[in-house]
Amino acid sequence: MVDLEQVFRDRQMVEALLERLMDKLSGPLSFMEVCGTHTMSIFRHGIRTLLPPDIRLVSGPGCPVCVTSQTDIDRMVGLSEIHGVVVATFGDLMRVPGTAGSLSDARARGASVEIVYSPAEALNLAGSKPSSQVVFLSVGFETTAPVVAATVLEAQARGIENFSIYCCNKLMPPALHALFQDEELEISGLLCPGHVSSIIGAKAYEGLCARFSMPCVITGFEPVDILTGLYHLTCQASEGKAFVENVYHRAVPQDGNKRALALMEKVFEPTDAHWRGLGTIDKSGLELREEFSAFDVQRRFEIEVKDSQQPKGCICGKIIRAKALPTDCALFAKACTPTKPVGPCMVSSEGTCSAYYKYGSYEEQ
Amino acid sequence: MKVLEVQGEQDDFLNPPTALVEAQGTTLNARLDIVDRMPEPGDYVIVHAGFAIHTLSSEDAHKSLELFKDLAQHG
């Protein structure tokens, strides 16, 4: 029996793909990986160290916790401090510093904050605590939104009234359109996110690719997947071509996951959203449709936040826009570390600063 | 993760369908509400936040692998 995980990590295949890539390379190229899971996988497998100096990899706005605005973080912390509210959250959000501390700090002060692996777990928590209001902090891209949609439909079917969501879900294509309008951004091609693409499909990048003449390759997360993706980006960029290429066929259909998209469409509608580092982008977020508004926490509680402040000296916004590297930040690995993070990119397991710190890239520079 | 057992039907939001899945000795129950195709035991699923989002067969994975091998050998 072939171990499918191991064969996609095969050293000989990686070396052969690297040679093919070098054959095609004719000058300096910069590729952006947009998915936080790609960022971590590239570091974890040491792929940056294998690549020739002419290939530069930069990270884009693909970490959902990192792009959540400071105002939203402050509102989440404020929400957790309302008497009778139990906040349920993915673990990554716990230590993101807000203006007056993090969710973790709020919990230390007595707030009820529970870490959950899934929104379904948050719903079960609501079922088991009928006298509390359980609020799920819904952060994530198109991969997470259908999961939350299914949970809202289940809450409705089960008649669970003490469950609601704080909706910060965001959409990737509008953010990429906004990002690439920056003419100073020198990117030769885009390594498109894997799991987001499983939901939205390969065709979702066609508009972006055509508008910005941007080579787009969708690939998976194992070293062989990533090297294959980089090879195809190198071919397109070196030959002056730009089209959408899907080399993650085993997980990404052309039209995406129609069932998940239909559930998303049923429960949510697009709305303008504020992204850390990118500002407000038209129709780049999701809100609950009117028929599901009973599950919108903002209909249940007034959450007032005054004077949200960015952490002093933190350049996470620039890092998210690919205008700076973690090593450009005066705080990096000094005042800002995984044990005492100043900005969200150091907190999240998918954050660029966290990856640079954990895998020691800063030592090489 | 590899699918070991499947229970329930899609569109039943009161009793959502689930699969017992396993990877590297860890098992969990993944929800199947949003998966693109209902898996069968022996298939693989990509799981996100407790929900399977995509079903793939080992044939799908082997096809990808053959393409990558060809690319690695011949460019």
A24 contact partners, CB below 8 Å, separation of at least 6 = A231, A234, A235, A238, B75
Average pLDDT of the residues in B3-31: 89
**Smallest Cα–Cα separation from A244: which of A205, A212, A207, A191?**
A205
Cβ within 8 Å, pair A195-B48: yes
Q: DSSP class of residue B66? A: H
- Cα–Cα distance measured from residue A125 to residue A213, given in angstroms and rounded to the nearest whole number: 48
Contacts with B65 from chain A: Cβ below 8 Å? 4, 7-8, 224
Residues of chain B with Cβ-Cβ distance to A140 below 8 Å are: 49
Q: How many angstroms separate the CA atoms of A253 and A199, rounded?
A: 8
- Of A346-350, B17-21, B47-51, which gets the smallest average pLDDT? A346-350
pLDDT of residue A361: 57
Spell out which residues of chain A touch residue B47, defining contact as CB-CB under 8 Å. none
A100-159 pLDDT tens trace? 999 999 999 999 999 999 999 999 999 999 999 999 999 999 999 999 999 999 999 999
Strands B18-23 and B2-7 come out as: antiparallel
Q: How confident is the model at residue A365 (pLDDT cuts 50, 70, 90)?
A: very low
Please state the φ and ψ torsions of residue B22, each to the nearest 5 degrees: -140, 140
Instruction: Pull the structure tokens for residue A161.
Output: 């009234």
Sign of the alpha-carbon torsion through A177, A183, A185, A187? positive
**pLDDT per residue as tens digits for the range A192-210:** 999 999 999 999 999 999 9
pLDDT, tens digit, for every residue of A30-74? 999 998 889 989 999 999 999 999 999 999 999 999 999 999 999
Q: Which residues of A220-255 are buried (b: 16+ CB within 10 A; e: fewer)?
A: bbbbbbbbbbbbbbbbbbbeeebebbbbbbbbbbee
Q: What is the mean pLDDT of residues A256-271?
A: 97
Count CA atoms within 13 Å of residue A275 on its CB side. 34
A187: pLDDT strictly greater than 60: yes
- Assess A109–B contact: CB distance below 8 Å, yes or no: no
Band (A362; pLDDT cuts 50, 70, 90): low
Domain enclosing residue B53, as ranges: 2-74
> What integer is the mean pLDDT of A231-259?
95
Architecture in CATH of A32-307: 3-Layer(aba) Sandwich (3.40)
The pLDDT tens digits for A215-225 are 999 999 999 99
C-alpha distance from A142 to closest chain B C-alpha (Å): 11
Based on the number of CB atoms within 10 Å of its own CB, is B67 exposed (0-12), middle (13-18) or buried (19 or more)? middle
The pLDDT value recorded for residue B69 is 77
Scanning the structure block, which residue is given the tokens 């990986």? Answer: A33
The torsion angle over the Cα atoms of residues A266, A267, A269 and A271, rounded to 10 degrees, is -170
Q: Which of residues 16-55 of B touch A (CB under 8 A)?
A: 16, 31, 33-36, 44, 46, 48-51, 53-54
The domains of chain A are located at 32-307, 316-364
Give me the residues paired with residue A273 across strands.
A281
Short-list A26, A19, A27, CA closest to A51: A19
Task: Write out the DSSP string of A233-276.
Answer: HHHHHHTT---EEE--TTT--TT--HHHHHHHHHHEEEEEEEET
Report the pLDDT value the prediction gives residue A306, as an integer from 0 to 100. 82
Rounded distance between C-alpha atoms, residue A162 and residue A216, angstroms:
43
- Which residue among B34, B56, B65 sits closest to A150, beta carbon to beta carbon? B34
Residue in chain A lying closest to B13 (CA): A154
| Total domains, chain B | 1
For the residues A270-281, what does the mean pLDDT come to? 96
The answer to whether the CB of B1 falls within 8 A of the CB of A5 is: no
SS3 A89: strand
Count of beta carbons in the 10 Å neighbourhood of residue B65: 18
Of B14, B48, B71, the CB nearest to A17: B71
- B34 vs A263: CB contact, 8 Å cut-off? yes
pLDDT value of position A152: 97
Q: Would you call B61 an interface residue with chain A, using a CB distance cutoff of 8 Å?
A: yes
Query: Which residue in A90, A123, A148, A259 has the most chain B C-beta atoms within 10 A of its own C-beta, making it the best mutation to test that interface?
Result: A259
Q: Vertex A262, ends B20 and B11: CA angle to 5°?
A: 45
In this structure, of A84-88, A173-177, B19-23, B57-61, the range with the lowest mean pLDDT score is B57-61
List the CATH number of the domain containing B49: 2.30.30.140
**In the 3-class helix/strand/coil scheme, how is A140-208 assigned residue by residue?**
ECCCCHHHHHHHHHHHHHHCCCCEEEEEEEECHHHHHHHHHCCCCCCCCEEEECHHHHHHHCHHHHHHH
Could you give the CA distance from residue A279 to residue A296 in angstroms, rounded to a whole number? 23
pTM: 0.92
Whether A224 contacts chain B with CB within 8 A? yes
* pLDDT per position as a tens digit, A281-318: 999 999 999 999 999 999 999 888 888 898 999 999 99
Q: CB distance A259–B10 less than 8 Å?
A: yes
